[in-house]
Chains A and B, each alone.
Chain A
Amino acid sequence: MTLVGLDLDYVACVVLFCVGLYMLVAKSNLIKKVLGLNVMETAVFAFIVTSGMIDGGQEPIVVAGSAPPYTSPIPHAMVLTGIVVAVSVTAVALALIAQIHAHYGTIEVDELKELP
């Protein structure tokens, strides 16, 4: 739906992206930063899937009883791959945070900056 010429679904994705960006930048706890990154990633996935939607459509699986219009399958494939990439980044980030915690004893950026 549109409001003042803006596609509200897209705007919702932008808002979600900015919430995640705020978490990433403003929070001091490293895990919260990684969560913010995940929220940003989810926002971009939502944006991509939304772009593939079609009015009155159904999922792009052609079986008996299904009829066009179908949503576009390309965004779904993109997001599936994107989710796997996001999981991979999160895994590496968590491993690094575990290493930081083992060495410094803290995962708060405020405290990490104080240390030599």
Chain B
Amino acid sequence: MRVFALALVLVVAATMVIGIAGLPPHGDPDGPVHTHVGARYLEQGVAETGLRNLVTAVLLVYRGFDTFLEVVVIFTALVAVLALPSATRQPPPSRDESAAASRRDTDDAVPVSPVVFLVVRLLAPFIAVFALASLYRGHVTPGGGFQSAAIIGAMMIALGLVFGREHAARLVPHGAKAWLQALGPLVFAVVALVGWRLTGAFLGFPADEAAHALREALVVILEVAIAVGGAVILAQLFMALDAPS
């Protein structure tokens, strides 16, 4: 198998290098990447979309359909994991079970040193604030919905590792779980509908100056939906995977 792998890798490498040689050198300002569609986005992006972070402009305004599909993909991953028998079914933690739950917490948690325990507890709120800041500032600095989702999701997973699955699972209110998971695709569909009614185009954004505030509001709504939905899905993916026997 090793020999086959090596041979395959060498063939693939050679083929790709030969193909790559035919590409225009990257970094050239006159290359096709910078003079065609990208140039239009850079020149008119701020005026047309009202967003200063042009990556967000591309993600949400110019190519919003791709981002809709992207939230659908991560939702698919969650549904896939929930559909498989390896997913554990966590019963909702009830009040009288809290004593038993706290016992189970420490059984389920990864044994870590007190230093790690303390640091995770201390840092978690700051991490959450950082994620919120990233979301809030995402239209003028690098940041945005997905980045926040990843940070909050990671925070929840770290808490789950250190405190035990059930304790961390309480961060996501059980009754709202199904709605929160679906938040990404559903909010996108609703915003698409709103855009359809206002501009006649699916996921269209009103273009005139007067609707500037509405446009910003729609963008913020989408970003928040991506962040919250994504974070809940990432945390759920972790919670749902089977514990090793």
Do A and B have CB atoms closer than 8 angstroms in the complex?
yes
Question: How far apart sit A17 and B9, CA to CA, in the bound complex (Å)?
Answer: 9
Please tell me if A80 contacts chain B, counting CB pairs below 8 Å.
Answer: yes
Are A21 and B12 in contact (CB-based, < 8 A)?
yes
Residues from 53 to 111 in A contacting B, C-beta threshold 8 Å = 53-55, 59-63, 68-70, 72-77, 80-81, 83-85, 87-89, 91-92, 94-96, 98-99, 101-102
Are B41 and A61 in contact (CB-based, < 8 A)?
no
Are B54 and A88 in contact (CB-based, < 8 A)?
no
Q: How far, in Å, is A41 (CB) from chain B's closest CB? A: 14
The DSSP consensus for interface residues of chain B is helix
Question: How far apart sit A15 and B242, CA to CA, in the bound complex (Å)?
Answer: 35
| Interface size, A (range) | 35 or more
Please tell me if A114 contacts chain B, counting CB pairs below 8 Å.
Answer: no
| Interface size, B (range) | 35 or more
Given contacts A14-B13, A81-B66, contact A74 B58 (CB under 8 A): yes
Q: How far, in Å, is A62 (CB) from chain B's closest CB? A: 5
Residues from 4 to 28 in A contacting B, C-beta threshold 8 Å = 5-7, 9-11, 14-15, 17-18, 21-22, 25-26
- What are the 7 A-B residue pairs with the smallest beta carbon separation, nearest first? A88-B77, A26-B5, A72-B38, A25-B5, A60-B54, A99-B86, A98-B86
